[in-house]
Amino acid sequence: MIELIVICAAFLGSVLAGLFGGGAGLIFTPTIYLFLLYLNPHASHLMQTSITTMIASLMLSGALSIIKHHRYQHIHWQTVKWSAPIIVLGTILGCWVMQMISNTWLKSIFAVSTLALALRSTLILRAKLAKKTHSSNMFRYGGGLGLGFISSLSGSASFMVPYYEAVGLGIKNAIGTTTVVVWLYSLFVLGFMMYLGKGATNLAIGSVGFLNYKYLWLFVLPTIPGALLGTKLAHYLPEHQLKWAFTGLLYVIGVSMFFI
């Protein structure tokens, strides 16, 4: 029964990732945590293991999403070139800070900010106003660095699509570009978390650092059809509906951050 729950969560999470460029962890991470807790009730570092294993589980489906978004011409590769390095740098800084401070307060701030962003998006959509575009280098590079920093600390990339919209991309290009950048910085987070967990003890059975490889196949398989479905939905949904759907996701992420 618990395996079926995991499969459903992996599928739904990967649909979200394919559709919005992120959001899989909202469903997938708690499910992996409960699964590992059920099988290893006395293990330590289960949340770190769940986050790391979730990231590893989405690498293959994320690559497939990138291929599909590229075929649909959703990825703005010029934007990837200038934004990915600075966001990855911010992500590495966030991982480094993560091991030194409690991020409970940051998650609360992130939750409030996400809900404010969702409310702003709602007002824009209801009034059918155009979003303001920011083209200054300070916003592009400073915002990208802060975006990577907050994404790694909070475990959510929900600001990524609005950021790319703010620098001038349409919603579909913003989603496709987010898919690439999230995949790239996930490689660094995965390696960093595996390294951090090398000295940890009492981990769940079948773990290398904070990565649990024993059940990885179970987590990976459902993400492939889910990612393909999500990417296809992102292509065929009208932009206005896609913006409303993403706004709804922002509300869900903002509320859920208070309980994670």
Token reading at 252:
């869900």
214: how many CB neighbours lie within 10 A of its CB? 15
Q: Helix or strand or coil: residue 213?
A: coil
27/49 Cα distance (integer angstroms): 15
What pLDDT is attached to residue 158? 73
Q: How far is CA 181 from the centre of its chain?
A: 10
* Regions of the chain short of the pLDDT cut 50: 103
Q: Which residue is associated with the tokens 């649990």?
A: 212
Pick from 212, 209, 99, 83: nearest CA to 153: 99
92: how many CB neighbours lie within 10 A of its CB? 17
What is the secondary structure of 163-201 as a DSSP string? HHHHTT--HHHHHHHHHHHHHHHHHHHHHHHHHHGGG--
24/8 Cα distance (integer angstroms): 12
Token reading at 51:
């986050």
What pLDDT is attached to residue 84? 93
76/170 Cα distance (integer angstroms): 10
165/90 Cα distance (integer angstroms): 19
108/16 Cα distance (integer angstroms): 23
Residues 144 and 87 sit within 8 Å (Cβ to Cβ): yes
Please give the single-letter amino acid code of residue 117: L
Predicted model pTM? 0.83
Pick from 47, 46, 9: nearest CA to 26: 9
* Phi-psi label, residue 249: left if phi above 0, alpha if psi -120 to 50, beta otherwise: alpha
Q: Which residues contact 196 (CB under 8 A, 6 or more apart)?
A: 48, 99, 209, 210
What pLDDT is attached to residue 244? 87
Burial of 123 (0-12, 13-18, 19+ CB in 10 A): exposed
Please give the single-letter amino acid code of residue 150: I
* Alpha helix stretches (DSSP H) within the chain: 2-20, 25-39, 46-57, 59-71, 77-98, 104-127, 137, 143-154, 160-166, 171-196, 216-220, 223-236, 239-256
